[in-house]
Amino acid sequence: MLGGSLFAMWIVTRLSVNAFAMFYLFNFFVDKNLQSAKFFEDANTIFGVALACAMAGIATILANCRNSHRHTLYRFTYTSEEYVGRYFESDNDPLEYTFDNLSEAKMHWICQPHPFYHRNRIPKIEEWVLSLDTENDLFYELNGVMPYGADNVSGQPWGVVFDLIRKKFEHFGDMRALGKVSTHLETLLVELEELQRLKKLELANNTTSTDES
């Protein structure tokens, strides 16, 4: 993934830049008198030790981590575009974050990143959106909002999320796909709201029957 390499590079970069910046500042600003010279030497020693410890730590991690995972410390497994779109390329990618199923993962990754990251997989996203129906896991509870597992859009009303999807397709500039997606989502929203109404009516009837008993 992106995490290991970014984290490792961020730590090394910060420690290195901090140390070298302090070396430069001390050389530039500190007067060359006896007292400041001693302070300069002590400061250089402190930052030098910190830098050495950071490098030793990274070397230790590289030497002791598993062979199968060592590469994640110094290179990305995915590009950013591949990372946000991987659930549209394969149904076998492990679920992460709060995702309970692929539908939640796909809905999150359609809505969360900038459309730029999906520019090369518009047909696959269109195909998935057009496959959404009232039986999809996203609408299992028929409570009017996206499930918790959808992460970035969890708890958002269906209509709000559908509008967000439409805006993504507007950005793509594919008017044919936008028309098909808009029509499908409008129809789906009507069907979902009707099922939600029937569910509430059924619950109300069950409550009334229980009270009468």
Rounded mean pLDDT of 140-153?
A: 93
Residue 125 sits in the same domain as residue 203: yes
DSSP character string of 86-154: HHHH-S-SPP-TT-SSHHHHHHHHHHSS-GGGGTT-HHHHHHHHHH--TTSGGGTT-SSB--GGGGGGT
All residues at 6 or more sequence positions from 111 whose CB lies less than 8 Å from its CB, including other chains:
152, 153, 161, 164, 165, 168
Q: Which domain holds residue 50?
A: 3-73
Query: How does pLDDT run across 29-47, given as a tens digit for each residue?
Result: 655 555 566 676 777 777 7
Residue 55 sits in the same domain as residue 148: no
Residue 193 sits in the same domain as residue 96: yes
Rounded mean pLDDT of 128-155?
A: 94
User: What mean pLDDT, rounded, does the chain reach?
Assistant: 83
Lowest pLDDT segment from 46-60, 65-79, 129-143, 186-200: 65-79
Residue 51 sits in the same domain as residue 109: no
The verdict on residue 80 lying in a domain is no
**Domain count across the chain:** 2
Other Cβ atoms within 10 Å of 56 Cβ, number: 10
Domain boundary among 12, 44, 73: 73
Rounded mean pLDDT of 159-188?
A: 94
Residue 110 sits in the same domain as residue 23: no
Using 50, 70 and 90 to split pLDDT, how confident is the model at 129? very high
CB distance 99 to 137 below 8 Å: no
Query: How does pLDDT run across 79-122, given as a tens digit for each residue?
Result: 778 888 889 988 888 898 889 999 999 999 999 999 999 989 99
26 vs 174, residue with greater confidence: 174
Residue 65 sits in the same domain as residue 145: no
Burial (CB count within 10 angstroms: exposed 0-12, middle 13-18, buried 19+), residue 206: exposed
Residue 66 sits in the same domain as residue 100: no
Largest separation between any pair of C-alpha atoms in the chain: 96
Residue 134 sits in the same domain as residue 191: yes
Predicted local confidence at residue 70, as pLDDT: 72
Residue 3: is its pLDDT beyond 70?
Answer: no
123 vs 3, residue with greater confidence: 123
Domain boundary among 40, 73, 106: 73
Question: Cα 199–101–160 angle (5° rounding)?
Answer: 55
Domain boundary among 21, 40, 73: 73
C-alpha–C-alpha distance, residues 111 and 167, integer Å = 10
Predicted local confidence at residue 18, as pLDDT: 75
Query: How does pLDDT run across 181-206, given as a tens digit for each residue?
Result: 999 999 999 999 999 999 999 888 88
Using 50, 70 and 90 to split pLDDT, how confident is the model at 2? very low
Residue 58 sits in the same domain as residue 102: no
Residue 62 sits in the same domain as residue 115: no
Coil/strand/helix, residue 165: helix
Residue 117 sits in the same domain as residue 186: yes
The verdict on residue 43 lying in a domain is yes
Residue 206 sits in the same domain as residue 101: yes
Question: Cα 7–10–15 angle (5° rounding)?
Answer: 130
The verdict on residue 201 lying in a domain is yes
All residues at 6 or more sequence positions from 156 whose CB lies less than 8 Å from its CB, including other chains:
145, 146, 150
